[in-house]
């Protein structure tokens, strides 16, 4: 979805426009009802956890159903994934039948509890919801959600809303689209109880903006409500509406227009977060589909076979992401290999290929060693301009087998042709750096060094050499793989920024040379 038109310019216009209407009634702050009290009357019940045994499982395989209702869970539940220690485990699909309605959810389970990502739909409809569950204090409290329509082949057609919904208040904060015969509207704000507060921008069938309303909107009547600011081709006006009818022109306090701006900006931010969560959820759905082609409804976890082509010895870099020996590297480092090992403390240690994802160029290895894993950043968005370091083993035949550190910045939050799976970085990398951890100034992994811009392609396209244009896949794209295999990855603990020498020293023991034969 395109971003909502920046509101700051509009708000400035709104404030200055008031000066030309001195005879309009000035509205005091006390006359304006708090917007949150208007957009919801949702009354959340007590948190209600309930363990359910899937009806299709003969072995004990409980899963947790969570909600904020006093009523017990209704319907018959089936689970086509695995079971471990009496609980649902790993990637699978939940089917819930309640009367004539049947719903589905593809998700990961960790000890019977839904673990972040989800993709759900109801049988017979062409609409889906996907994103991430957010748990706080061991309770499911929010979702970062995307709502979309599907094409006949099952692919995503149109994403019509993205944002965060509170499970305790029912309020949705984000960006939504509503289509009309003569155009469409984009809403950026908060929605609840069929009331909207924020910015509503209308477009004609040629995608040209026609007018924008800031403030309250009645979604049932599809008209402004209470106090609003409207900007159209005639100018900017402050108005009071009631039951879908304009009552009077007014002058609104600056605090009100500021509030609409803040809510709209927050909505756009949460929509972006939901978009990122949605991409991971779709990757999970794609993984589920690939594992279940021509399979029976009840599946077992398939073997993750190594690529079958053969090659000589290649080297790359890997790094520990848990204290029990899980290693991340690039998929292309181990492609076609029959034997994989790492050099740990000067000794060769055999490594097992647990999983690989060629589409995102990520591979997961395992060694039977107690090690020190690096923390990985999966929750906070890394910003353009962030200072980074890359540590690895480039060109060992030419440069030797000592670790090499390079430093730089994140130049862009997307890669070649705007691919949002990657960062563009200026930290120098060489062959052999593939799989190197890219860390921030606290030693937290935010990406995996993976590629450089092809110089021949750059000369052909632009006539010049590319300078320091390299790429790292974002660490978040490893999350489905880590969850699926129950990796006890390490989350970051906030600490002060480290000096470069301290930084490299803090991560060096967790970075290893990978040999693929």
pLDDT, greater one: 463 or 88: 88
Judge whether 91 lies within some domain: no
> How many CB atoms neighbour CB 101 within 10 A?
11
Local confidence band at 464 (pLDDT 50, 70, 90 cut-offs): very low
Judge whether 120 lies within some domain: no
- The three-class DSSP label of residue 210 is strand
Specify the number of domains making up the chain: 1
Query: In this predicted structure, what is the pLDDT of residue 72?
Result: 62
Q: Give me the chain's average pLDDT, please.
A: 82
Query: In this predicted structure, what is the pLDDT of residue 73?
Result: 64
Query: In this predicted structure, what is the pLDDT of residue 373?
Result: 94
- Residues of the domain holding 442: 314-516
Lowest mean pLDDT: which of 70-79, 205-214, 270-279, 484-493?
70-79
Where are any strands of DSSP class E within 59-194? 63-65, 76-79, 82-84, 87-98, 101-110, 113-122, 127-136, 139-150, 156-166, 172-180, 183-192
- The three-class DSSP label of residue 374 is coil
- The three-class DSSP label of residue 275 is helix
Which residues partner with 117 through β-bridges?
132
Confidence check: pLDDT of 17 > 80: no
Provide the CATH number for the domain around residue 366: 2.40.10.120
CB-based contact 133:126 (threshold 8 Å): no
Judge whether 14 lies within some domain: no
Lowest mean pLDDT: which of 2-6, 149-153, 175-179?
2-6
Judge whether 424 lies within some domain: yes
Query: In this predicted structure, what is the pLDDT of residue 379?
Result: 77
Q: What is the pTM of this model?
A: 0.59
Confidence check: pLDDT of 365 > 90: yes
Containing 229, the helix (H) or strand (E) segment is strand 223-232
**Average pLDDT of span 402-415:** 90
Confidence check: pLDDT of 5 > 70: no
Confidence check: pLDDT of 364 > 80: yes
Judge whether 491 lies within some domain: yes
Query: In this predicted structure, what is the pLDDT of residue 8?
Result: 37
CA nearest to 46, candidates 71, 29, 10, 65? 71
Local confidence band at 29 (pLDDT 50, 70, 90 cut-offs): confident
**Average pLDDT of span 336-354:** 90
Judge whether 480 lies within some domain: yes
* Most confident option among 397-406, 426-435, 454-463, 499-508: 499-508
């Amino acid at each position: 979805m395109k971003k909502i038109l920046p509101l700051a310019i509009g708000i400035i216009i709104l404030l200055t426009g008031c000066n030309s209407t001195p005879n309009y009634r000035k509205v005091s702050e006390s006359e304006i009802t708090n917007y949150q009290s208007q957009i919801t009357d949702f009354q959340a019940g007590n948190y209600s956890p309930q363990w359910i045994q899937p009806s299709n499982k003969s072995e004990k395989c409980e899963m947790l159903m969570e909600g904020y209702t006093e009523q017990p869970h209704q319907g018959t539940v089936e689970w086509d994934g695995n079971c471990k220690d009496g609980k649902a485990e790993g990637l699978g699909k939940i089917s819930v039948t309640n009367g004539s309605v049947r719903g589905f959810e593809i998700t990961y389970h960790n000890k019977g509890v839904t673990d972040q990502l989800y993709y759900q739909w109801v049988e017979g409809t062409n609409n889906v919801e996907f994103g991430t569950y957010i748990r706080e204090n061991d309770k499911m409290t929010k979702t970062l959600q995307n709502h979309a329509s599907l094409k006949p082949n099952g692919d995503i057609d149109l994403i019509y809303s993205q944002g965060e919904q509170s499970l305790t208040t029912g309020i949705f904060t984000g960006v939504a689209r509503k289509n009309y015969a003569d155009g469409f509207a984009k809403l950026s704000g908060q929605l609840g109880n069929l009331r909207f507060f924020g910015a509503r921008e209308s477009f004609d069938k040629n995608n040209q903006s026609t007018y924008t309303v800031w403030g309250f909107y009645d979604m049932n009547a599809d008209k402004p409500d209470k106090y609003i600011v409207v900007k159209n081709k005639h100018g900017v006006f402050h108005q009071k509406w009631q039951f879908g009818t304009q009552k009077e022109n007014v002058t609104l306090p600056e605090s009100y227009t500021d509030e609409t701006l803040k809510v709209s900006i927050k909505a756009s931010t949460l929509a972006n977060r939901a978009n990122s969560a949605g991409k991971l959820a779709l990757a999970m759905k794609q993984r589920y589909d690939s594992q279940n082609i021509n399979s029976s409804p009840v599946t077992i976890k398939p073997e993750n076979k190594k690529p079958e082509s053969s090659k000589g010895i290649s080297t790359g870099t890997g790094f520990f992401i848990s204290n029990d020996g899980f290693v991340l590297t690039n998929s292309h480092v181990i492609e076609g290999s029959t034997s994989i090992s790492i050099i740990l403390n000067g000794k060769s240690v055999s490594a097992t290929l647990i999983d690989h994802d060629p589409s995102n160029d990520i591979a997961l290895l395992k060694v039977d060693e107690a090690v020190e894993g690096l923390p990985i950043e999966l929750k906070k968005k890394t910003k353009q301009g962030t200072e980074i370091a890359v540590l690895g083993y480039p060109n060992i035949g030419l440069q030797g087998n000592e670790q090499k550190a390079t430093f730089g910045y994140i130049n862009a939050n997307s890669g070649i042709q705007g691919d949002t799976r990657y960062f563009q970085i200026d930290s120098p990398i060489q062959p052999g750096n593939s799989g190197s951890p890219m860390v921030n100034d606290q030693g937290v992994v935010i990406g995996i060094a993976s590629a450089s811009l092809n110089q021949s392609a750059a000369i052909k396209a632009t006539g010049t050499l590319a300078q320091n244009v390299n790429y790292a896949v974002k660490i978040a794209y490893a999350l489905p793989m880590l969850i699926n295999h129950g990796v006890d990855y390490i989350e970051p603990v906030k600490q002060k920024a480290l000096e470069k020498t301290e930084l490299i020293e803090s991560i060096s023991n967790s970075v290893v040379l990978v040999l693929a034969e």
